[in-house]
A = this chain, B = another copy of it.
Amino acid sequence: MDAIEKNLLKEVAELDSLPVGAYNIRANGQLAGRNTTANIDIVTKTDKPGIDIYIRPFTKNESVHIPVILSQTGLKDLVYNDFHIGEGADVTIIAGCGIHNCGGGNAEHDGIHTFWLAKNAKLRYVEKHYGEGDGRGKQIMNPTTIVHLAEGAEMEMETTQIAGVDDTIRKTGGDLAEGASLVVKEKIMTTGDQHAVTDFNVDLNGEGCSANIVSRSVAKDESKQEFISHINGNCACAGHSECDAIIMDHASVIASPALTANSVDASLIHEAAIGKIAGEQLIKLMTLGLTEKEAEDQIVNGFLK
């Protein structure tokens, strides 16, 4: 693994060396390293590209790293990863995709991730997307994430796209059984002429289940962002979505969150706000000696933290 690839790994998975525990590293469409543990098995799919990750029931305090890095221009990588989280397990999965694209072609990674959480399983899923390049070809990432939460299962998704992704359509779908809980925290920043679409569709099917989707985004330069969500309350359940966007320069942002209550016992709320950085905030920081640019950066970093 060369310096470029090591840097990508660090950006998307905060890894300086090989991770502890289970991992599967994919580089330029090929397996570049794998480790399994007594409780966590990783199996290459035979019918299509991708892996199956099996986590035994009641596995606790273990993690799986599954970073993907691309450093070849012109490569289009597509994987199907399935995650089978056993009953009562409590684990962390750290995914991430880094693209370094120096060359005339586009570099694209599309990951179709499907999660099956068994009864009372708990999962923290962290996904970080990062791109860099010389600007000639595009870095493209289209993640699709489908989560099936069985009775009492809990999943927390933290997704971050900070820089260098030119085009992305991020789709997340989910269905929740009785007492299940899904929390999504999304952070996106777009610059230049980047385009990001994020689309959630969650079915609250089981009594007492809940979903909370929080998206924070910053759109700079000429970039365009679109936030779409559909929360469908089909029983006694609680759904909340929140979309806050800071708009800068000549960017544009669309927020389109829909709530559907199909049951008298569904309680659904959403909020959205789009606006620029408040002038007073900028002035306050500038009186402390920061330039306007530094003040903006500090506010944006705080907002996305």
Chain A positions near chain B (C-beta within 8 angstroms):
233, 245, 247-276
Q: Given A255-B259, A257-B257, A258-B254, check contact A249 B264 (CB 8 Å).
A: yes
Say yes or no: B259 contacts A274, CB within 8 Å.
yes
Say yes or no: B259 contacts A265, CB within 8 Å.
no
User: In the complex, what distance in Å separates the CA atom of A275 from the CA atom of B262?
Assistant: 11
Q: How many copies of this protein are present in the complex?
A: 2
Say yes or no: B274 contacts A268, CB within 8 Å.
yes
A200 to chain B, nearest CB (A): 13
User: In the complex, what distance in Å separates the CA atom of A270 from the CA atom of B257?
Assistant: 10
Selected A-B contacts with CB under 8 Å, 29 pairs: A245-B261, A247-B264, A247-B266, A250-B264, A251-B264, A252-B260, A252-B262, A253-B261, A254-B258, A254-B259, A254-B261, A255-B258, A255-B260, A255-B268, A256-B257, A257-B272, A259-B272, A259-B274, A261-B274, A261-B275, A264-B276, A266-B274, A266-B275, A267-B274, A267-B275, A269-B274, A270-B270, A270-B271, A271-B272
User: In the complex, what distance in Å separates the CA atom of A15 from the CA atom of B261?
Assistant: 38
User: In the complex, what distance in Å separates the CA atom of A262 from the CA atom of B225?
Assistant: 11
